[in-house]
Amino acid sequence: MPNSLRFLFFCSLLGYLPGRAQSVTFYQHVQPIVHANCTPCHRPGEAAPFSLITYDDVAKRAKFIKKVVSSRYMPPWKADDHYNSFANKRSLSEQDIHTLVTWIDAGVPKGKVKLEAEKALTERLNAGTAYKRKPDLTLRMKEAFVQKGDTKERFVMFKIPFELAQRANVEAIEFTSNNKKVIHHANYAIHPVEDAAIDLYNTVDMVDLSGTSQADYYQWVKYKKEMTYYGGWIPGASLETYPTDMGWEMPKRGIVLLTVHFGPSSQDAESINGVNIFFKSTPIKRKVKVISLGSGGIGEKDITPPFMLFANEVKTFTLRIGNNQPDVSLLYAWPHMHQLGKEFKAYATTAAGDTIRLVHVSEWDFRWQEIYRYRKPVLLPRGAVVHVEGTYDNTANNPMNPNDPPQMVLSEGNMRSDQEMLTLMLMYVVREENDDTLTYDWQ
Ligand code: HEC
């Protein structure tokens, strides 16, 4: 045997060839990448059209997967990573892509079967959570809501009362639903109602904001004097967790007001929706708060120019809001626009002339939104001015334009997806001295 052939023979016995990595197998190399980056959406009950959990799920779509990961179409991640980087960044590294492609080109070898990861994931799926453990409390609607198959979208608010044995420290919260495919996005507000004289049950359980029962909403005003927390879900978005000594306190008694935006459906679709809450036994030293700027929140009237998008117009709107709170450290930034959105940018300027980058989505895509989680505390000092800039494309060139031909679009705060919004939500804690050097230990 010539030397070179002998060398090749030797290499193939060892399972590799010169210049090529050791053989890549599913259970050892591929599944961890797929479970971390794809299954948050590609699982039953989530937004993606098929599961990518098991060997078979992935192997039978290998060619397709090679295409979408090489082109970086999947996993979707729209934030401009050069502007600032986020802890929940969902993108494959060059190395990950290389591993997936090598595995696919090698004919999808299985390797030694290891089912632990699938088992753990299935357990969490059965518990209806994307978090690492089962929820301590699930507050959900008593009865399923039927989104009629009349191709109309609906905004429906659900009241979910709760009375707990005691207050509890919250480590994480997530929206939960047995049918996320019909849901466009959801928001939830947690309102404490300590006054036992206020009955939590003798009001309507549901209000269709897009229908005739709108006026019933006023029955709930008595519950809304205070708000403990406000969060939400959009397809693909990660759940909300907090670093070790941060979080908020779940009140003993009150209601969750859950607003669900159901997308148009051509078939009747049932869903039961709610929130999962995860408690922690450690104390909360720093309380997480939420503020909403722009449409539906603070400064709605200050959007400049007043929000009006004529047909065939590309236009930028801005909002400037001063921080009149003490210095705060940001945990999350959650930008929101609808289908006409093209670009979203938020930053703050200080009296000293510094610019603090908050978030930039250069190619806004309504389908891929995220609640962006900072790696380190982002300082928003007292007196800083937050700038929010949203550019919208209301021309026929925008494939997401819901109107053909384009129509005038407003932002009337009713959150319908054929209306627009320019909103930035910020989750934050009051600044502490050592925040300059802190890195959040996200759970
Ligand atoms: C944020 C949620 C999300 C994540 C994360 C995600 N996907 Fe998807 N994926 C979707 C949705 C929703 C669709 C269907 C809509 C579409 O194709 O745009 C989709 C479609 C696909 C398709 C079909 C594409 C087509 O043209 O029909 C493939 C293949 C795919 N995903 C693979 C992956 C792989 C591999 C990963 C991980 C590396 C991944 N996805 C991560 C949500 C996600």
Q: Give 75 Cα–ligand 1 centroid separation in angstroms.
A: 6
Nearest to 417 by CA among 258, 275, 145, 210: 210
pLDDT of 369 strictly over 90: no
> Architecture of 145-286 per CATH?
Sandwich (2.60)
Nearest to 426 by CA among 381, 382, 373: 373
The mean pLDDT of the chain is 90
Same fold, 145-286 and 290-437: yes
Q: Residue 149: its pLDDT value, please?
A: 93
Residue 387 identity:
H
Q: Is the CB of 321 under 6 A from ligand 1?
A: no
Looking at the DSSP assignment, which residues form a beta bridge with residue 147?
269
Q: Is the CB of 49 under 6 A from ligand 1?
A: yes
The angle that helices 62-70 and 94-105 make with each other, rounded to 10 degrees, is: 150
Q: Residue 15: its pLDDT value, please?
A: 41
* 183-192/289-294 β-pairing: unpaired
pLDDT tens, residue by residue, 169-213:
999 999 999 888 888 889 999 999 999 999 999 999 999 887 778
Looking at the DSSP assignment, which residues form a beta bridge with residue 140?
274
Q: Is the CB of 293 under 6 A from ligand 1?
A: no
Q: Give 353 Cα–ligand 1 centroid separation in angstroms.
A: 42
Q: Residue 52: its pLDDT value, please?
A: 96
Q: Residue 89: its pLDDT value, please?
A: 87
d(CA 48, CA 42): 5
d(CA 30, CA 118): 13
Nearest to 427 by CA among 181, 199, 194, 231: 231
Q: Is the CB of 38 under 6 A from ligand 1?
A: yes
Residue 44 identity:
P
Q: Where are the domains of the chain?
A: 3-126, 145-286, 290-437
pLDDT of 7 strictly over 70: no
Which has the minimum average pLDDT: 3-17, 150-164, 165-179, 408-422?
3-17
pLDDT tens, residue by residue, 236-273:
677 899 999 999 999 999 999 999 989 888 999 999 99
CA-368 nearest atom, ligand 1: 1
Q: Is the CB of 61 under 6 A from ligand 1?
A: yes
In this structure, the residue with its CA closest to atom 37 of ligand 1 is 38
pTM of the complete model beyond 0.95: no
Looking at the DSSP assignment, which residues form a beta bridge with residue 388?
319, 346
Residue 60 identity:
K
Q: Residue 402: its pLDDT value, please?
A: 85
Start-to-end CA span in the chain (Å): 57
- Kindly indicate the confidence band of residue 11, based on its pLDDT and cuts at 50, 70 and 90: very low
Sign of the torsion angle spanned by Cα atoms 33, 34, 38, 44: negative
Question: Other CB atoms closer than 10 Å to residue 133's CB: what's the count?
Answer: 12
In this structure, the residue with its CA closest to atom 16 of ligand 1 is 48
pLDDT of 8 strictly over 60: no
3-state secondary structure string, the chain? CCHHHHHHHHHHHHCCCCCCCCCCCHHHHHHHHHHHHCCCCCCCCCCCCCCCCCHHHHHCCHHHHHHHHHCCCCCCCCCCCCCCCECCCCCCCHHHHHHHHHHHHCCCCCCCCCCHHHHHHHHHHHCCCCCCCCCCEEEECCCCEEECCCCCCEEEEEEEEEECCCCEEEEEEEEEECCHHHEEEEEEEEEECCCCCCCCCCCCCEEECCCCCHHHHHHHHHHCCCCCEEEEECCCCCCEECCCCEEEEECCEEEEEEEEEECCCCCCEEECEEEEEEEECCCCCEECEEEEEECCCECHHHCECCCEECCCCEEEEEEEEECCCCCEEEEEEEEECCCCEEEEEEEEECCCCCEEEEEEECCCCCCCCCCEEEEEEEEECCCCEEEEEEEEECCCCCCCCCCCCCCCEECCCCCCCCCCCCEEEEEEEECCHHHHHCCCCCC
Q: Name the residue of 26, 29, 68 whose CB sits within 8 Å of the most ligand 1 atoms, as the mutation to test its pocket.
A: 68
In this structure, the residue with its CA closest to atom 26 of ligand 1 is 68
CATH number among 3.30.110.40, 2.40.33.10, 1.10.3720.10, 2.60.120.230, domain 290-437: 2.60.120.230
